[in-house]
Amino acid sequence: MIQMPISEGMREIFDTRPDIECDRFTDLSEDNLVEHIANYDAAILGIAPFTPRIIARADRLKVVSRFGVGYDAVDVPALTEAGIPLTVVGTANSVTVAEHSLFLMLALAKRCTIYDREVRKGNWNIRWDYPAYDLAGRKVLVLGFGRIGRRLVPRLVAMQMDVLVHDPYITQDAITCAGATPVEDWRAVLPEVDFLSVNCPKNEETTGMVGAAELASMKKTAFVVNTARGGIVDETALYDALKAETISGAGIDPFVIEPAPADTPLFELDNIIVSPHSAGVSEESIYRMGYWAAKNVVDCFDGKLDPANVINTEVLG
């Protein structure tokens, strides 16, 4: 079962395996997956929820492979209880997300959307009325130093930014070696930063971690960028902060509800740039993610699954 178009990366793996048949699913409702999941030995998932109800009917399922690295829509405890490994694609889209984070920072600092809009109206004075910022010399706080944060930080350092990083779960020397400054209390430095970049996983600890209080403590000229998961930045609090101009702007890629409906309140605002949860999607990353999502399936069938790509390694024995 494959929940997205079968990519060239997937074909490179599966075309060498005549013993494997692939079916693409377009109806990703829970009821439809419950009805059919018992027919499959593997599932390659997009962002549709993979629930305990689905897993309970997955009698043949040997592996669940994510076309990506986030897995907040997958019930990992239910998979673990069933003895089914959940795999991700490692660093296949890490560079892509890091570039998108930097793109959003640049687009916000350089007033990309308002300049485009006003120049089309003939308003060239906008450059004086609403001047852009340089990234060089600006202070940025990166939340998370995992696969993506480790690739984003060198890019920010190369832009001559003053880079702070908060990640209590890694060796702090790794942050220093990357040219950044480790921060233990990230909320304490919010009043100092010009950019806040969210690059951490979504879990119980991080859901809603950037809320009204955090946004209120930031500079009026500051920007928030989220290329992680919807809900880490509280959307209601962000809307209120942007509308009141408590902060200057935001760049948001993921949303709590996806696809985000057209009447999403954030879409009313001019001081936000949005993208369709596409930070990890490029021509190159689609190939890489497809390749590794398929390879994880084949490796599981062949008994040589790489534990580094497995989330619930306890099922490997």
Parts of the chain belonging to CATH 3.40.50.720: 8-92+282-316, 94-274
Taking residues 237-258, report their average pLDDT.
97
Hunting for tokens 């079962």 — which residue is that?
A: 1
111 is known as an active-site residue:
no
- Catalytic-labelled residue, pool 111, 147, 166, 277: 277
Per the annotation, the verdict on 277 as an active-site residue is: yes
Considering the candidates 111, 151, 229, 288, report the single residue annotated as catalytic.
229
What the block records as the tokens of 190 is 């919010």
Alpha carbons 207 and 286: distance in angstroms, whole number: 27
The pLDDT, as a whole number, for residue 47 is 86
The predicted-structure confidence for 120-174, as pLDDT tens digits, reads as follows: 999 999 999 999 999 999 999 999 999 999 999 999 999 999 999 999 999 999 9
Determine the pLDDT at residue 263: 97
How many whole angstroms from its chain centre is CA 17? 31
94-274 belongs to which homologous superfamily?
Answer: NAD(P)-binding Rossmann-like Domain (3.40.50.720)
**Average pLDDT value for residue range 7-27:** 96
pLDDT tens digits for range 28-55: 999 999 999 999 999 999 989 999 999 9
pLDDT interval class at 238 (50, 70, 90): very high
Amino acid at 182: P
At the fourth CATH level, which superfamily is domain 8-92+282-316?
NAD(P)-binding Rossmann-like Domain (3.40.50.720)
- What rounded mean pLDDT belongs to the chain? 97
How far, in Å, are 64, 104, 226, 236 from residue 100 at the CA level?
Answer: 27, 6, 10, 23
User: What is d(CA 311, CA 199) in angstroms, rounded to the nearest whole number?
Assistant: 18
> Given phi > 0 = left and psi -120 to 50 = alpha, else beta, which region is 181?
beta
Specify the length of the chain in residues: 317
Nearest CA among 5, 4, 20, 80 for reference residue 295: 20
Q: Does residue 166 have an active-site annotation?
A: no
In the chain, % of residues over pLDDT 70: 100
- Check whether 211 has a pLDDT greater than 90: yes
Please tell me the distance from the alpha carbon of residue 226 to that of residue 213, in angstroms, as a whole number.
17
State pLDDT tens for residues 52-106.
Answer: 999 999 999 999 999 999 898 999 999 999 999 999 999 999 999 999 999 999 9
List pLDDT tens digits, range 275-314: 999 999 999 999 999 999 999 999 999 999 999 999 999 9
- In this structure, are residues 298 and 65 in contact, taking their beta carbons and an 8 Å threshold? no
State residue 317's pLDDT score: 79
Confidence band for 240, pLDDT divided at 50, 70 and 90: very high
Residue 315 has pLDDT above 90, yes or no: yes
99 with 231: CB under 8 angstroms?
no
The residue annotated as part of the active site, out of 258, 268, 283, 314, is 258
What DSSP letter does each residue of the chain carry, written as one string? Answer: -BSS---HHHHHHHTT-TT----B-----HHHHHHHGGG-SEEEE-SS-B-HHHHHT-SS--EEEESSS--TTB-HHHHHHHT--EE--TTTTHHHHHHHHHHHHHHHHTTHHHHHHHHHTT-TTHHHHS----STT-EEEEE--STTHHHHHHHHHHTT-EEEEE-TTS-HHHHHHTT-EE-S-HHHHGGG-SEEEE-S--STTTTT-B-HHHHHTS-TT-EEEE-S-TTSB-HHHHHHHHHTTSSSEEEE---SSSSPPTT-GGGG-SSEEE-SS-TT--HHHHHHHHHHHHHHHHHHHTT---GGGBS-GGGG-
